[in-house]
Structure 1
Amino acid sequence: MKRKLLIAVPLLCVVGVTAWMFRPKRESQGEAFVSERAAPVLSGIAQVRQQVGVLHYGERVEVLSKRNEYTKVRTPTGAVGWVEAHQLMEPALWQRSIKLLEQVRNMPVQARGRTKVSTNLRVLPGRTEPRLYQFARNVPVEIVGRGVAEWVQSADEKDSSNDAETKKEDWFLVRGIASRPPGESSARVSVATTTTEPGDQTVPIAGWVIARFIELDLPDPVREGASSANIRPVAWFELNRAPDPS
């Protein structure tokens, strides 16, 4: 009996160690957050691949591995696939975006406008600063601050300007919305505001954009006064309203 036990105990230990070594491993390299309105999830990174899902701005994903310009992720629903790395932001940058939104939440509106073209939203003024999001064309924004940064060439800015003499450029600190298709939840609280498409849900967002990419929505009295006086308004505030005697 003792001999059988002496054989069985080591054998069980070997089996246990082997099972532990070959157990399914949950590989993870941290987390990330989607920085695009829509980020396709792909079955692989080879030329022959399929789209197996889509992620939306603010969604948290688990990072499993990275290869070239792609990141393998596990989505909130448990699906596994590949997304382009530039469509994700690191947790530290996500936290900076949240803090920036809190800072500007109660700042007074200096002006309102709309994006002229697809416009990158950055965490600080400057074309090389980390990107938080990209507004589509004709998206409404509220301007709450202004800044100046050095002009540098950037691959992800659609800019036809070739003025080499330009050393600095103006930037706007704006509040806007990151839209999501109907029925999609978000890591932030949605707000009721203008959306880019009927039925879209919206998520508040804030950051810096190049000033000349914004077309100001001038009130009629301001537009008429500016045109007659040949001036360029940069901000306006409504102080009071008076009835028209006519």
Structure 2
Amino acid sequence: MNSNVSTNRTALVTGGSRGIGAATALRLAQDGADVALTYVQDEEAAHEVVRKIEAVGRRAVALRADSADPEAVPGAVHRAAETFGRLDVLVNNAGIGVLGPIGTITDADVDRVLAVNVRAVFLACRAAAGVLEQGGRIISVGTALSRYAGGPGGTLYAMSKSALSGLTKPLARELGPRGITVNLVQAGAVDTDMNPADGPFAAGQRAANALDRFGTTGEVAAMIAYLASDEAAYITGAEMVVDGGHAA
């Protein structure tokens, strides 16, 4: 995909210190955007991403924001817009997973997962709707497991990510008159620190994919970068599946 972001555009990537978020932040910078990213604990990792972005000639800033705090992510949206003077792209990437049989999931688990995976995304979108420029982009990262076959132990995670489908479509309708697109990327098994391709649960995930391999963070970032580009201006309210054929 040739997915050059227009020069002088700006982006905020939540959870941008590692994994898909870090790859996305760097890819958007390589395509010509200044990038703000949020992190919770990995401050050094976040600043390493900032250094990589600056090395390709773009501005970058790392913002500490715990998505479980209802004020943190909307605050990051406004800080990003103030830092760069505008905001063009919001990537809702930050998320957590608590896995296990439903009987072992605590009330605290439910509260935190829904706070991070659902409430924070909604609040970020609400804040972004007030500051995004004409033709802006909102892109959220979900999971293919919430749309197709999940697995035992994934009830809470899949439920939380399923909410993003319900958010994406009506928000696309609401913001469409301003030329703002809203899309959802449903990622499959991707090689990250949290779910390594050589981890204890990797074999089953590979076997479930038509390509018999894990995806890379760069492959997901490429789809996000495309949706953030001018070339994707006529795509909105869509769920783009990047899952190696898990649903084939």
More strand by share: 1
With CA pairs under 8 Å and 6+ residues apart, which has the higher RCO, 1 or 2? 2
Whether TM exceeds 0.5 here: the answer is: no
TM-score scaled to structure 1, two decimals? 0.27
TM-score (norm 2): 0.27
Q: Which has the higher helix share?
A: 2
